[in-house]
Amino acid sequence: MNKNLKTKKRFNILTMVFITVVINYLDRANISVAAFALRTDLGINTEQMGWVFSAFGIFYATLQIPGGVLADRIKSRVFYSVILVFWSLATLLQGFINSLGALIGLRASIGVFEAPSYPINNLVVSRWFPEKERASAIAVYTSGQFLGLAFLMPVLTLIQDSLGWRGLFIVSGLIGLVWAVVWYFFYRDPRDHNSISESELDYIEKGGGLVGAKTKEKEKKKFTWNDLKQAFIYKKLWGIYIGQFCLGAITWFFLTWFPTYLVEFRGLDFVKSGFYASVPYLAAFVGILLSGFTSDFLTKKGFSVEISRKAPIIIGMLMTIFIVGANYTDDIFFIILFLALAGFGMGLASIAWVFVSLIAPKENLGLVGGAFNFIGGLAVFVPAIIGYLVADGDFRPALVFIAVISLIGVLSYTFIVGKVERIIPKEDI
């Protein structure tokens, strides 16, 4: 191994995480594309469909903390491969269901097995990237959910148009099963990677990357209730938890009801709606990359962490409030414009995972990541609430509801998070 040759293996790993996130969101969002035809075939009303949408997230949110604990203790190479296999099988089996109960059960199963995914993503990036590159790395892999959805929405629509909603689920599940094999054979943590150079390893470690040096005993440390306590006793952590819940509300709207909004409330053709639906996701993709790279640029230029990390998120949450503008026009151009502005803001605010990397106690990154995603995941009840709000076919109250939650997110990041710095538990001082 040539110490003078700096490899860039961390970017290969980031590409793998990016693809995994695309598949992750493919299996979350395909239900929104299938919803219209599926409801017709199975005789499901809007209230019931709201619970179908929420079934995934209820279990996804509930198991975030256990998922984070397991992510801290099981090698990411093995753990990610296993959960990929199980959630992909559950996705595939949706193509064979004939009842509301079976559909809800399989959506819940996907939530169970996807629960540890984002804590694992955050751990992988925390291990492979120095702090000054962390926001950009998080932006890149998180952008996978938006870029994937932007390009996949039209593709998924065409697949369903050709193979039906059952074929859509089967194809989605097969993709995940193939990727589970790829992840197992190619992913390694930094110190286990046989082709990383010493110079890149040193660069990551000296820059604050948690490469895993001399941490085997800590990784095997048994979970204690004090670990769980550490995830909930700090005000600054609650600030980012509440902010993530508010961001989750608008994200869940786009992941679930958005295509239905375009087809049923705005009267768009089904295939055409798939292309219109991609616009806010493209805007979100641009927003998150701009946010991540701008945040790291400001950090390198010496701006405070509060400005470089907080500003993009607060501005983004403010922009999501533009969603309510769609209530005041019937012109499809302006409807999509307001939704795209909200999507752009959603993207800007989506680097919030960087706060987990920067604030959480080092030994409990996965646990805090799980708590962060658990509180954010409680926004999964938003689709169910929207199901009742739109029962008479009017989506305007739902958009007002989303805008109000976005404003709460602005207030949380502005007044509750406070100074951004690593939490050091008293027993470690």
The pLDDT score that the predictor gives to residue 401 is 93
The pLDDT score that the predictor gives to residue 215 is 42
Task: Give residue-wise pLDDT tens across range 367-384.
Answer: 787 788 788 878 878 887
Q: How far apart are alpha carbons 72 and 124 in whole angstroms?
A: 11
Q: Name, of 231-235, 249-253, 377-381, the range with top average pLDDT.
A: 249-253
Tallying the residues shown for the chain, one arrives at: 429
Q: How far apart are the first and last CA of the chain?
A: 37
* Residue whose C-alpha is closest to residue 283's, from 256, 243, 314, 319: 319
Task: Give residue-wise pLDDT tens across range 51-97.
Answer: 888 888 788 888 877 887 888 788 888 999 999 999 999 999 998 98
The pLDDT score that the predictor gives to residue 4 is 47
Residue 247 has pLDDT above 60, yes or no: yes
Residue % of the chain over a pLDDT of 70: 90
**212, burial (CB in 10 Å: exposed 0-12, middle 13-18, buried 19+):** middle
Q: Name, of 3-7, 99-103, 300-304, the range with top average pLDDT.
A: 99-103
Residue % of the chain over a pLDDT of 90: 23
CATH, residue 124: 1.20.1250.20
Is 220 domain-assigned?
A: no
The residue type found at 371 is A
Is 222 domain-assigned?
A: no
Task: Give residue-wise pLDDT tens across range 260-319.
Answer: 788 777 877 666 666 777 888 889 888 888 888 888 788 878 787 777 878 888 999 999
Query: Which residues form the domain of 341?
Result: 9-207+235-428
The pLDDT score that the predictor gives to residue 2 is 43
The pLDDT score that the predictor gives to residue 271 is 60
More confident residue, 331 or 210: 331
Mean pLDDT of 391-401: 87
The pLDDT score that the predictor gives to residue 216 is 45
Is 228 domain-assigned?
A: no
Task: Give residue-wise pLDDT tens across range 346-359.
Answer: 988 887 877 887 78
Is 147 domain-assigned?
A: yes
Is 214 domain-assigned?
A: no
Radius of gyration of the chain (CA): 21
The pLDDT score that the predictor gives to residue 269 is 65
Task: Please name the residues in contact with 243: beta carbons below 8 A apart, sequence gap of 6 or more.
Answer: 313, 317, 349, 352, 409, 412, 413, 417
Is 81 domain-assigned?
A: yes
The pLDDT score that the predictor gives to residue 182 is 94
Is 215 domain-assigned?
A: no
Q: How far apart are alpha carbons 52 and 26 in whole angstroms?
A: 16
Is 339 domain-assigned?
A: yes
Number of domains in the chain: 1
Q: How far apart are alpha carbons 107 and 190 in whole angstroms?
A: 34
The answer to which of 97-111, 135-149, 289-303 has the lowest mean pLDDT is 135-149
